[in-house]
Structures are given as C-alpha cells and as structure tokens.
Structure 1
Amino acid sequence: MSSDILRALTVSTAMSFFVCPDALAQSAPAREAESRTSSEEEGESPAPGGVTQLDTVVVVDVGAGANATAGADLITIDQEEIDRKKPQDLREVFSGEPQIAVGGAIPSTQKIYVNGVDENNLAVTVDGSRQNNKVFHHNGTYLLDPALLKAASVQAGVAPADAGPAALAGSLGFETKDAVDLLEPGRNFGGFVTGIWDTNSETFTTGVSAFGQQNGFEYLGYINYGHGGNFTSGNGDEMLGTGTDLISGLGKIAYEAVDGHRFELSHEQVRDNALRPYRANVYINRGAEPEVRNYDLQRQNTVFTYTDTTPEGWWDPKIVFAYSRTQIGTLETDRFDPDIVSPTEGATSSFNGKVENRFALDMGSVTAGFDFYNDKADLDYKNATAPFFTDERATNVGAYAQARLEPFDRARISFGGRADHQWFTGVDGTEWKNAGISGNISGEYDLLPEFLTVKAGTSHVWGAVPLAENYLQNPLWTYGGGPEPVTSNNYTAGLEARYNGFTFEANVFRTDISDARLPVFGRGAPVPELTSIRTLDLVSKGWEIGGRYDWDAGFVSVKYADIDADVDDVPADSEIGRYLTTPLGQIIMIGAGYTFDDWGLKVGGDVEIALAYDGTMVRHPTDPTSAKKELPGYEVVNAFLEWTPPSRPNFTLRADALNIFDENYTDRAAYGQDFDGVMPHYDPGRSFRLSATARF
C-alpha cells in the first residue's frame, strides 16, 4: 500500500470522527469531574449491567523486570509523561534526563547511555524479555517504536538481583501497552487512528489500533507505518540516508480467570528498511565503498507471562518465557573493487525466561527464583569466492533472591544476591564454563520525614562472557586460555528534599567495569595469532543535581549532569568506547508544561544544553590515525501545543516545534564526531510536527 493511500485513509478516518459528533457522542466518555458516582469516589466504577466493578490496578515493573529497590537511583518515564511528550524516538522518551544520553540522529542508529555507560552493560528487557541486540556497532541496539510504550524505567548503577544476569551498570526496562491501558472507563471495546506529518523530512506516519476485553479475555492489535525522505540539518545540508521506511506492530492476548490466574501472550515486531550511510551512524569515505547502502533492520519480541493478580500471603508467582531476535541485512562492498559485493546478514537471538515468587512479610517482601538465557550471535558473509558463516553462543542459568524491607518507619533497605553459571561456545567450537556471584545492598533513610531523604547503594556484579558483535566475527579467531568474565562494582549516593511542590535531588555515582570484552575483526591483537580476546577497563563517574516544582496545572524542572568516563585510565572517545561508553561531559536539561483544563489545552517545551568538552583530545593506542577534536557545545529548544476540544474529547490535535532556532549540531552521545576526517551525522534542523488522533 502506497504512502499516499495510507495518508488519505488516515486523514479521512480521523476527520470523520471530528465532523461526526453523533459518533463521538456514542463513544466519548463524560468528563471525569462530571461523571463520578458515589461508588467511584470510593475507588470503584460502574460496569455494564449495573454491576459495581473495582478500578483496574496496573502494576508496572520498574527496572529490567524487577520492582524498584530502596535507595536506588531510579528514573521512571510513566504513561502520563509519555502521553505528554508523544515521543517519536528513544531520545524523546528520555528527554529531560541528563543522566540518560541517547546518541544517533535516526531511530535505527540510536544507542542509550546511562551514567555514561552503554546499554549493552545493563540488564535490558522489553515486557520482561531479555534483549540480546549487539549486531553492528554502527547501528542502534533497540529499534523500538515509542508509540507502543506504556513505561520505561532505569535503575542506574545498582540493580537488584531479580533484574536479571549481567546488570553490570544497572537495569533498563521497557513495557508496552495493554488493552486496559487504552480502554475508556466503562467500555469493553475501543480503538484509535493517528496521523503525524514532519515538515523537515516530509515524513508521514500513521497508526491504527483496536482493543477490548470480554469475559476475562483481553486483546490488542496495533500497526504503525512511517515513510518519508531525508532531513536537512541546521546548516541546510541534506543528510543522505536519513529517510524513513518503518513499520511496527504489537499484538497481545490475555485471559484472567475469576480466581486471579492471568495468562498473557504478546508479540512485537519492528522493521526499518531504507538507504543509510555506508556506516549507518557516520559518514566515512573509504575507497570504492558507496556513500549509502540499504539496511534491512528487523527486531521481534515474543513473551508469555503468567501471574496471579490475587496473591495471598507467600503465594505471588510470576513465570516468563520469551524469545527475542534482531537482525541486519546489508551489502558489503570491497574497498578497492566496487564490483565485489557480498550480501551479509548478522543476527542475535535470545530464548530466555524466569520463574519466581514474591514472599510477603510483615516488614516487606522477599523475591526469589531462577532465570535462564540461551543467546546466539551469528554472521553469514556470502562472498562469491570466500564466504564464511560464524556464530558464538552462550547459555546461562542463575538463581537469585532480593529482599525489600522496611525495618522501621523512617528506613527502607534492599539487599540481595545471585549465582550464575555460564557455558560459552566460540566461533571455533571451543567451550568454556564460568561461574560467579553477584550482590547488592541499598537503602534510604528519612532524615526529616516527608521532607528530606538520604539514600545510597553499592553492588558487585559478575557478568559472564558477553557475545561478540556479529559484524566483527572472524572464523579464524582463537581464544587462547579462554575469555575472561566481565565484572563490575557500582556506587551511588543521593539526597532528596521535598517541600510544598518543590523537589530537589542530588546524586553521585561511579561504575567500575573490569575485563570488558571488545573484540576486533583482526587488528590490535594482544598476541601474535588472530585472537578474539581483548579486554578493557572502564570507569564512569559523575554527579547530577536537579530541581522541580509541581502545581495543579503544570511543572518546571531543571537538571544538570557532569559525566566523565575513562577507558584503561585514559579519557574515553567514541571509538575506544564502542559497547562501553561515549564522551558526554556536562549536560543541562530544562522542561516545563502547563494544562488549561477548561480549554482542553496543553503547552510545554524543553531545552537541551551541552557544554563544550575537550576530554576527547587524548589518543588511545588503537584509535584511527585521524586527528582528534573537542566536542562543541550546543543548545536545542523544542516546544509543543496540544488541544483536545472539550466538545469532542475523543479527538486531539498537536503541534511540535523542534529545534526552533535551527541549531546545527550532533547530539552529544553520537558516534565519530570527535575525529577529523569524519563527517558528523548531524541531527535534524528546524522542523514542525503536526499530528491528529481520533479515538473511538
């Protein structure tokens, strides 16, 4: 189906709801303040047939499949914030949080850094499913459509034992929407149609969803499609290979029995298939390689979950079985002969799961269980004369327990540990076994109840042997005496003050990662033979302060983070930091929002300020020979206006003004901008995004 047909279908559907008040009158809920009954004031809502039904309580796991821990450095992007931001990529999801940097100008190249540490060193889940997405270092790791998101949460640095294995620098969890998150009160069926137009790249995105519940069954279907051209940067240059050809979908079915047993199956799939720079996140001219080539990037995630929504005493189980896979297909061109082209495909996959139970105690709870993963990373290099096919595999089984207790009124403490055993298989078929133990403890204490809280935490993590990136695998690799398991130590401390709507926070953090694996295809080997073994040590440290004021109709927030990272005791640059870190320096985030309830109007905006950073001038032994340069500072200002007409509450119009002052910049966490001879992948210049959503 062409984009013109999709555009016409979306616009006509949305406008039909706008111009047909009768249709809206049948489906639009009464305004919340006017529709409450006495039962709703008591926390109940009327259900069809005159039966009184309790409001649905949605429990969102924060972190990577684990509940929050006392004293943790926790950052949560909840449904309310996602609805306010209406993000179109991961960078917009985490806007306003300087501790979380997202590098990459387009969704398929975006990578997340938490406290300066690459997301590959965090325990990352989507709907509880472990993600193993280390495919190609010039691509992003998680091609995730934010339109599907219900919540995103980060436990930076110290993560609990039930967050999963290899939480070296914390945990990161994404959760997608359920039918009950979208249904209007008192209704069993609904849906929406949305259309978005971006003026810079002339990209149109349309999404359609339907969902419902009946007799204990729930279902949700969603599909989103985007198509558009290249965008222009702040200096007016067209950035080749930045067009949009994206399709994503989410399907969920669930059944919840009267006695509380809940079974849910979900499948999510995202595909980006378009021309990109030869190295997708940067422009490098090398010999006969073309300027752009097609990348076919696909990610899928399938999850089965069992829970009991009416737990009693020591019985509160959770069972998860999941399969995730990411693959990239492209053409490799010989640097000296453009006629030698090799179709290449790399894929990573993970079959994983866990079985756990939460034991309720008088002073808190203890969660205990075991988890497993079976990960694989493979590369098919289909050269006509010298093809090769490689893979690395890893299987891990872990057992864990995490206590979350409140020993007395003003103190909360969390501690736990896990033991893991891993079996690793290299490209040459050699097998290695390793085992290790991880532990964590954190807590918080109310120095002044309701006003001032101090918190701190520390952890030691055994991370096993990580798989190598697919596109770097070499069939001639050897492993010497065996790959070394990676380990880490984390330290966090902070203070939070609250008074009459004001909140002030200050945090310091440090992460030490030892023996981090950084394979290279064939250069920089520490021993004469061709080896896959190369390890580095990372230290990422810094501090963050922030203030926020909330009142009934709005908020204002300001946050500042100063983050430095060293690799082998030398300040990191974006080349040596692959899969470890990226140079960040000082970043300031400012945000504000206000709601005019009587008019159905929301306004807001945000500012990102990155200060110039010269820590990249130091050269590492294996860096390219290109001259190095400092990172320039920049200021980017965005604003939005959203209107839901009080007379048509199921229709919403929104306008976003992005990069209002047309700043020419590369976002701070992007790859390659600290080397001369490399053309940065600039971010989009000024753009206006217009959107319309009709709910039925």
Structure 2
Amino acid sequence: MTSGSYRALAVGTALALLWTSGAALSQSALPVADEASAEQEAMPVTSDGATLLPRLDVGAGAEGTAGTNLIAVTPEEMDRKKPANLREIFTGEPAVAIGGSIPSTQKIYVNGVDETNLAVTVDGSRQNNKVFHHNGTYLIDPALLKAVTVQAGVAPADAGPAALGGSMGLETKDAVDLLEPGRNFGGFLTGTWDTNSETFTTGASAFGMQDGFEFLGYINYSKGGNFTAGNGEEMLGTGTNLLAGLGKIAYETPEGNRFELSHEQVRDDALRPYRANAYINIRNEPVLRNYELNRQNTVFTYTNTMPEGWWDPKVVLAYSRTQVETPVFNRATGEIIAPAIGATSSFNGKVENKFSFDIGSVTAGFDFYSDRAKLSYDAVPPEFPDERASNVGAYAQARLEPFDRARISFGGRIDNQWFTGVDDTDFSNAGVSGNLSGEYDLVPDFLTAKAGISHVWGGIPLAENFIQNPAWTYPDDLEAVTSNNYTVGLEARFEGLTLEASLFRTDIDNARFPTAGNAMRNFDLRTKGWEIGARYEWDAAFASIKYADISADVDGIPADSEVGRYLTTPIGQIIMLGGGYTFHDWGVRLGGDVEIALKNEDTLVKHPTDPSDKVALPGYTVANAFVEYTPPTHTNFTLRADVRNIFDESYTNRASYGQDFEGVKPHLDPGRSFRLSATMRF
C-alpha cells in the first residue's frame, strides 16, 4: 500500500468517525449523579453494610509493599500519555530507562538493571523473553495496557521467583475499564497518523457485560515507513508493520467467584538492520534482513471479588511465548544459509490466599514455572540446542500496620529449580529469599521515612536462544545467581506539593553471561544511585521534576552496553520534567514533558571483554507536547495532536545499544514528528 493510500485511509477513517459521532450522542455518558449511584451499586457489600474495595494487584502480580520504591503508571496516567511505545509509558520516571528506537528493539532498565533480571508478568503470567540480545526483551502494544507498576530493587515474596532487581507487572484492559457508566455494551475506533515515518495506526474494540458474563475484543494495526532522525538522515530498517490483539472472556457468579480467560498476541514483521538494534555488518552481510517477532500470552485467572474472613483466593494458570525468526547470511558470499528461529516459552501459575487481620494481611501460596529456550537453525550441520528450567516455590508475605504511624512488610520464599542444559545434563538447586521493608511517619501527614532490604535466590538463568551452542558442556558445580537490594528514602507532603528523595543499590552475584564458547561465564553486577523529585498538583494541573544519577559496574569496572547486554547499560544523570493542564469547561487537555541526559564519560573505561575503543555518551535534550480536545457536547469523541522531539534533536536515547563504541553506528531516534489521532467511543 502506498503512502497516498495510507493518507486516504486516514482521512476516510476520520470522516467515518465524525459521521458516526452524531448517531452516538444518544449513548453518551450518564449525568454525574447517575455515575456515582451506578458505581455504588456495582460495589459489593458485606452483610453489615460495609463496602468491599477490589483487591489491588500491583508490581508483577503482587500487592504494593510499604517502604519499597514503587513506580505506578496508573490508568489515569496511561490515558493522559496515550503512549505509542514502551518509552512513552515511563516519561517522567528517570529510574526506568528504555533503550531502542523502535518497539522491537526496546529494552527496559530499572535502576540500571536489565528487565530480564526482574520478575515480570503480564496479567499475572510470567514472561520469559530473553530471545536475542539484538532484539528487545519485551514487545507489547501500549494501547492494550491499563496500568504498569514497578517495585524497583526490593520486591515482595509473592512477586514471583528470581526478582533479582525487583518486579514489574503489566495489566491489560478489561471490559469494565472501558464501558461508559450505565451501559452494558460498547466499543471504540481509533486512528493515528505519524508524519515523520508516515505511519498509520488503526484500532477497533468491542466489549460488554451481561448477567455476570464479560467479553472484550481488541485489534490494533500499524503500518509505515522508515523515520528520519533530527539530522535529516533516514534510518534504514525502522519501518512499522505491527499487529496486536487482545481477547478476554469472564464470568462472575452472584457469590463473587470470578473466572477469566485472556489471550494477547503481538507480531512485528519487517526489514531491520542486520543486527536489529545497531548498524553493524561484517564483510558481505546485507545491510538489512527481515525479522519476524511474535509474542503471545494466555492467562486463566480465578479470584473472589467478595472475600469473607480469611477466604480471599487467587489462582493463575498461564502460558507465554516469544519467537524471533530471521535469516542468517554467509559473510563471505552474502548468500542466505538458513533461517534461524529462536523461541522462549513459560508455562507457569500460582495458587495463593490472602488472610486479612485487623492490622493487615498475610498472602501465602505456591507458584511454579516450566521455561524453555530453543534455537532451530537448519544449516549444515543443523543446530537445535535448547535449555530448560523448572521451578516450584512456596512463599508468604505479610503487610501490616501495627500502629497508626508505621507500616511494615516482610516475607520469604523457598525455591527448588531443575535445570537441563543443551547436552541434557541435569542440575537441581534450591535456595531461600527474604525481604523486609517499612515506612514510618516522622511527622504525621507531612514527612515519611522508608527503607527496604532483600536477598534473592534466582537459580540458573536460561541462555538466550541465538547464543546457544550444541557443543556446550557445563561444570559440575553450577552456582545459582543471587542478589541483595537496599533502598532508603524520604517523602514530604504539604497540601498539593510532594518532595521525595531516595538512595538505592543492587548487587547481583554470579550473573550468567554466556558466549558461544562458554556456557557458564558469569559476572558480578553492581548498580547504585540516587533520585530526587518534586511534584505539585492542583485542581486542574500538575508540574513535576525528577533527577536520577545511576551508575553500574560489571566485575568492578564501569559497565557499557556490550558487557552489560544481559545485565545493565550505562545511564548516568537524567532529568525529567512534566506538566499538564485541563480546561474542564472547554474539554481541552494539554501537557508536555522534557528529558535531559547529561554527558556520561564513565563509558571511556574499557572492560577487558570490550571489542573496540570507547567513546563518551553525549548529552541531549528532547521535548514533547500534546493538546487533546473532547467536545463537551460530544464526550464520546476525542481529537489529539502530539509533537514529538519539538526541537528536532539529533540523538540516541541514553539506554540504547552500541553508542559507546568506536566503529558502531547506533540507531538515532526519530526527529520531529507530528502525531494526529482521533478516537470514537460508542
């Protein structure tokens, strides 16, 4: 399809939305009073008339824990940001860095720790996404997400096994999140046009609930060309061909027993640089090759929305899978040898119950996973190596408020892991993890101190698919990876002003870093830093600023993006500013954000394993803004305009791979672009 066809499709979609808006006016939202009464009717109540609040799950499927560094991107924040990729989800949060200029190469770093060292779930399903170090570790369409929560560093025991650097939970949307008040059925259409890459994105959804049944179906498709960097250079291999979908069905009995089944799938299929996250070619390798990345996540969940006494159960049974397929070329002749297919998967689940008391609760249960990482390379000779790991764990986590000014949480877990190498050698290991955190109001309603500490046993991590070698052998005394995390902070609140400061450190010992010739090479990782921030909110607006200084060492030497490929990346000093204002009477909302990265010279130190000379990371400043309009008389219709990289800065995001080496050409990020979108709800 030509770019002209995309423009025609965009205009046609916009006209269709406008045409249907008039017919949909009769289905607009209820008055405010009716909304309140509808919400009250929807809330379950106990026999004595008390309202039961819904169970709040944050941070890798686990409840928020007092004293930890909790980063929560709420549904309200998601609606304000309307992110198009992972990086835009975390604007305003310098502790979370996203490397990669396109969705298929984006990687997440929390306090400088690579996402593969976190306990990551989607709707409670464990993710096993270490497929290829030149790809991102996680591909998802943000349009599917309701909220994202991160517990940086110290994570609770019920966050799952191997939460070495913390936990992260992503939650997709439900029908109840999208339905207009007072309605049982609904849907929406969206259309977005990006002027830089001439990318058009269109989405459609339908959802409803009736007699205890719920359903949701959503599909989103993006198609476009290469984008242009701030210096005017076209970045080859950055086109868009992304298809994402989400389906959910649920049933809730009158007694509150809720059964839900969801399936989410994302596919990215396009030409990328030969090494997808940087321009690195050896001899006669082509500049571009096709990458097809598929990820799927299927989850069954049972909960009770009206718990009584000590009965508040949760059961999760899930399967997740990520696959990358790309051809391998002969470096001497430039001819295709064979396609290489790498796939990681996880069959996982948990059974737990939350026991509530007057002063808090205790969550206890057990979980399991069966993970696999496999490479299929049909060359001569063919290679089909794979590694497998299974784990069973038991855990308990207490969250207590022993008196008015103090909140405390502590817990532990015991894990037993079975690991099988490419040569079918089996190993069995067991370990114990524990955590303690809390917060105390030094001055009630004004100043709170918080701190946390944890020790985590992580077992033997699987190697990424594309590095696996069928000739690998393993030592008899495999050592599990472990970590220690420390956080301490202060938070002050006065009317609408919040001031916060925190220190953090993560030590990961015996982290696995395999090479083609060494299955069990390992390093020790140390990340540390501090963060300060301020936020002021009033009726219709907010303003915020945060500064983070994050450093990382690998075996005692400052890390770079090569030696840190499974562990970390050099971050340095980042400043993020944000603000927004809503004109309620006019239906207008506007806002913006700025990211400032200061020059980082830590990368000039050369690690013994580095392949080439080093360069410092340059500083940059990137500003973005948006304006959104929802007509007061047509509240089911929204128009939005975003300006990304307003000043057309030529830069590479601080967390992106390869920019700290001589002779490596990293991806530049997109230059100035205008993003125009329309949403129609019915």
Q: What TM-score comes out, normalization by structure 1 length? A: 0.95
Shift of 1:579: 1.1
Aligned to 1:567: 554
Aligned to 2:301: 305
Moved more, 20-29 or 293-302: 20-29
RMSD: 1.8
Judge conservation of contact 2:558–2:605 (CA < 8 Å) in 1.
yes
Aligned to 1:464: 459
**Cα gap change, 1:17/1:59 in structure 2, threshold over 3 Å: closer, same or farther?**
farther
Moved more, 180-189 or 59-68: 59-68
Shift of 1:337: 2.3
Within 5 A, what are the aligned runs for 1:327-342? 327-342=323-338
Moved more, 326-335 or 553-562: 326-335
Aligned to 1:526: none
- Amino acid in structure 1 at the alignment position of 2:33: R
1:398 aligns with 2:397: no
Give the Cα–Cα distance (whole angstroms) in 1 for the partners of residues 54 and 631 of structure 2.
Answer: 28
- Amino acid in structure 1 at the alignment position of 2:80: R
1:129 aligns with 2:92: no
Judge conservation of contact 1:393–1:426 (CA < 8 Å) in 2.
yes
Shift of 1:98: 0.2
- Amino acid in structure 2 at the alignment position of 1:489: N
Shift of 1:334: 2.0
1:266 aligns with 2:271: no
Within 5 A, what are the aligned runs for 1:517-666? 517-522=512-517, 531-624=518-611, 626-666=612-652
Shift of 1:19: 3.6
Aligned to 1:18: 18
**Cα gap change, 1:20/1:330 in structure 2, threshold over 3 Å: closer, same or farther?**
closer
Judge conservation of contact 2:52–2:306 (CA < 8 Å) in 1.
no
Aligned to 1:96: 92
1:511 aligns with 2:497: no
Give the Cα–Cα distance (whole angstroms) in 2 for the partners of residues 209 and 43 of structure 1.
Answer: 23
Shift of 1:618: 1.1
Judge conservation of contact 1:507–1:545 (CA < 8 Å) in 2.
yes
Judge conservation of contact 1:45–1:55 (CA < 8 Å) in 2.
no
CA distances 1:71-117 after superposition (whole Å, capped 9, x unpaired): 01000001000000000000000111000000000000000000000
Judge conservation of contact 1:638–1:660 (CA < 8 Å) in 2.
yes
Give the Cα–Cα distance (whole angstroms) in 1 for the partners of residues 621 and 50 of structure 2.
Answer: 48
Shift of 1:647: 1.5
Residue aligned with 1:587, SS: strand
Aligned to 2:207: 211
Give the Cα–Cα distance (whole angstroms) in 2 for the partners of residues 21 and 154 of structure 1.
Answer: 38
CA distances 1:181-232 after superposition (whole Å, capped 9, x unpaired): 0000000000000000000000000000000001100000000000000001
Aligned to 2:679: 693
Number of residue equivalences: 677
Aligned to 2:281: 285
CA distances 1:603-644 after superposition (whole Å, capped 9, x unpaired): 1000000000000111111110x2210000000000000000
Give the Cα–Cα distance (whole angstroms) in 2 for the partners of residues 179 and 144 of structure 1.
Answer: 19
Give the Cα–Cα distance (whole angstroms) in 1 for the partners of residues 346 and 318 of structure 2.
Answer: 8
Aligned to 1:528: none
**Cα gap change, 1:54/1:95 in structure 2, threshold over 3 Å: closer, same or farther?**
farther
Match of 2:442 among 447, 455, 461: 447
1:492 aligns with 2:479: no
Aligned to 2:360: 364
Aligned to 1:223: 219
Shift of 1:477: 0.4
Give the Cα–Cα distance (whole angstroms) in 2 for the partners of residues 12 and 193 of structure 1.
Answer: 13
Residue aligned with 2:610, SS: coil
Aligned to 1:36: 33
Give the Cα–Cα distance (whole angstroms) in 2 for the partners of residues 454 and 363 of structure 1.
Answer: 20
Residue aligned with 1:459, SS: strand
Give the Cα–Cα distance (whole angstroms) in 2 for the partners of residues 230 and 514 of structure 1.
Answer: 41
Shift of 1:12: 3.9
Shift of 1:7: 6.9
CA distances 1:287-345 after superposition (whole Å, capped 9, x unpaired): 11110000000000000000000001100000000000000000011222212522110
Give the Cα–Cα distance (whole angstroms) in 2 for the partners of residues 272 and 2 of structure 1.
Answer: 19
Give the Cα–Cα distance (whole angstroms) in 2 for the partners of residues 470 and 22 of structure 1.
Answer: 53
Give the Cα–Cα distance (whole angstroms) in 2 for the partners of residues 55 and 204 of structure 1.
Answer: 45
Residue aligned with 1:15, SS: helix
Judge conservation of contact 2:598–2:618 (CA < 8 Å) in 1.
yes
Aligned to 2:46: none
**Cα gap change, 1:211/1:4 in structure 2, threshold over 3 Å: closer, same or farther?**
farther
Q: Which runs of 5+ in 2 are unaligned?
A: 44-48
Give the Cα–Cα distance (whole angstroms) in 2 for the partners of residues 55 and 685 of structure 1.
Answer: 51
Give the Cα–Cα distance (whole angstroms) in 1 for the partners of residues 4 and 260 of structure 2.
Answer: 36
Give the Cα–Cα distance (whole angstroms) in 2 for the partners of residues 627 and 469 of structure 1.
Answer: 26
Residue aligned with 2:23, SS: helix
**Cα gap change, 1:22/1:610 in structure 2, threshold over 3 Å: closer, same or farther?**
closer
Shift of 1:59: 4.2
Match of 1:249 among 232, 240, 245: 245
Shift of 1:139: 0.3
Q: What TM-score comes out, normalization by structure 2 length? A: 0.97
Give the Cα–Cα distance (whole angstroms) in 2 for the partners of residues 22 and 118 of structure 1.
Answer: 49
1:678 aligns with 2:664: yes
Give the Cα–Cα distance (whole angstroms) in 1 for the partners of residues 595 and 295 of structure 2.
Answer: 30
- Amino acid in structure 2 at the alignment position of 1:378: K
Residue aligned with 1:84, SS: helix
Q: Which runs of 5+ in 1 are unaligned?
A: 48-52, 523-530
Aligned-pair identity in percent equals 69
1:475 aligns with 2:461: no
